[in-house]
A and B are shown apart, each in its own frame.
Chain A
Amino acid sequence: MKLEMKDSPGQLVSVLTPIRDIGGNILSVIHERDPGAGKDILDIQIMCDIPEGTLEPLISGFRTRGINVLRVGEERFLVRRSVILIGHLIHTDISDTIGRIDSTGYAEVHELSMVMPAINEPSSAKMTIKSDSLKDINRALAILRDVARAKGFLIIEPLEGN
């Protein structure tokens, strides 16, 4: 997000405090004087990870400190979900299974670890899917369930908490 604030000593801390207060993590801070703006105005671009649903409180936290929020960039989520697959995963074309998730454009297989005990015995694999949103993770899992049904392998999912 891009912020604008008064350029006076110690002011940068007032940007960082609201982020800390909501449990956020700062990834990068770029600050520069905008030649077009008044000489004591500072522009700050900040990138951070914040818990879901805390963007609004963060913005109002800035405002109460006299910091103008000029622009909020794309809000992106990172959600991971690991499932366990059991069955003839290789013989049912594991790369096709992965491709069905990767080709969605909204989710991708991030990690796969597999145990193959013996030829003709079912393999077990842990597959981690990542996406920007919970909704897309659930869409991807629905696809994986359909693939599992069609290819005859078992899918074990984590217990959903409400």
Chain B
Amino acid sequence: MRIAIIGFGSVGRGVAEVIVAKNLGIRVTAVADSKSGAIDPSGLDIAAVLKNKKETGICGSPDITVSDIISSDAYDVLIEVSPTNAETAEPALGYIRKALTAGKHVVTSNKGPVALRYDELHTLATEHNVQFRYEATVCGAIPLMHTIESGIAGNTISRLYGVFNGTCNYILTRMAEEGLTYQQALLEARELGYAEADPTYDVKGIDAAIKLVILANVVWGIKKTLADVDIVGIDGVTSAAIALAEQEDQTIRLIGEIDPANEILRVSPTILPKSHPLVVRGTLNAVTIETDLAGEITLIGKGAGSSETASAIISDLLFIRDCHGRRD
């Protein structure tokens, strides 16, 4: 199976490293970052590309663009792992459209296109008889989409709720366990690389809300957008509030919840008993699926990170190869 990786940041490099390290039968024939690209239909020397990226900051030649790669016939699956743009989903949306239309499978970790255009992209993939997969967009390494699609196939899902943002979970864990103030815990998260220099997207609950929008669209086919989610972030939570919850063996976590029958689509700091399965520590994510046959299923795992996100992407890739035929 031949793949083209678009986006060569920590996720793209993570995928490339796994392919170098493991003999999975996957050949990387093209890569591109924001400034350069490389194509070799017989397979790129990925170790050399990674080394080049590390030394020069670019992965290939400035003369080769993403468009050149996407319109080429050098790949079977497009791995779209460029940064998320929550407003327009571009340029990733255009890349994905083009690849699907050309009859190529697409695997992405990019939340923008799935949150904003799931319906269109899903239809496009069906029309061209290819797969469009996005396991890495929600809860990182947790196989949530695979679980819903295959593991509990046949169940009716009534409600989904959980911890969808590792940065917020880290901050709230530290406030609860060490009595840190919000500002102190945020500073610590930044120093450890868990929070961006501008943490707005995480701490205001926007990242968690985008994941809910994806799930609402994918699981229930409800055409919701970010504007439909009731969002309250964690930036107003005080350590005193957490201490008050602790008096009754409870704590506070940022919980995202979809309950279509009760018209609930919200992200908000929520009180939970400390013994609740969703009270996970550090940057972990956790999600509970309420079903009619299987009852409640709770999945816990790492929500971000280079190899964790690569895990989700590789599993999508191998799913395509094993369930939809080798195309090389």
Contact = CB atoms under 8 A, between A and B. Distances in A.
A113 B240 CA distance: 11
A158 B161 CA distance: 13
A122 interface: yes
Most chain A beta-carbon neighbours within 10 Å: one of B238, B270, B290: B238
A162 interface: yes
Most chain B beta-carbon neighbours within 10 Å: one of A86, A157, A159: A159
B180 interface: no
A117 B182 CA distance: 14
A17 B130 CA distance: 66
A156 interface: yes
Interface in A28-84: 82-84
Given A156-B237, A159-B272, A84 B244 contact: yes
Given A82-B248, A83-B271, A156 B159 contact: no
Contacts of A157: 268, 270-271
Contacts of B260: none
A154 interface: yes
Contacts of A87: 236
B171 interface: no
B271 A86 contact: no
A119 interface: no
A interface bracket (residues with beta carbon within 8 Å of B): 10 to 19
A115 interface: yes
A86 B310 CA distance: 39
Contacts of B276: 159
Given A156-B269, A157-B271, A159-B271, A124 B238 contact: yes
B213 interface: no
Given A115-B243, A162-B290, A84 B232 contact: no
Nearest to B255: A159
B159 A162 contact: yes
Given A157-B270, A158-B270, A159-B272, A84 B236 contact: no
B232 A125 contact: no
A6 interface: no
A129 B270 CA distance: 17
A8 B102 CA distance: 90
Interface string B198-234: 0000000000000000000000000000000000100
B244 A126 contact: yes
Contacts of A86: 236-238, 241
B247 interface: yes
A156 B247 contact: no
Given A83-B271, A84-B244, A115-B243, A159 B161 contact: yes
A154 B238 CA distance: 10
A158 B271 contact: yes
Interface string A80-100: 001110110000000000000
A58 B244 CA distance: 39
Given A115-B244, A159-B161, 4 more contacts: A123-B240, A154-B269, A157-B271, A159-B271
30 contacts: A82-B248, A84-B241, A84-B244, A84-B245, A84-B252, A86-B237, A86-B238, A86-B241, A87-B236, A113-B244, A115-B238, A115-B244, A117-B238, A122-B236, A122-B238, A124-B238, A124-B240, A125-B244, A126-B247, A154-B232, A154-B269, A156-B268, A156-B269, A156-B271, A157-B268, A158-B270, A158-B272, A159-B161, A162-B158, A162-B290
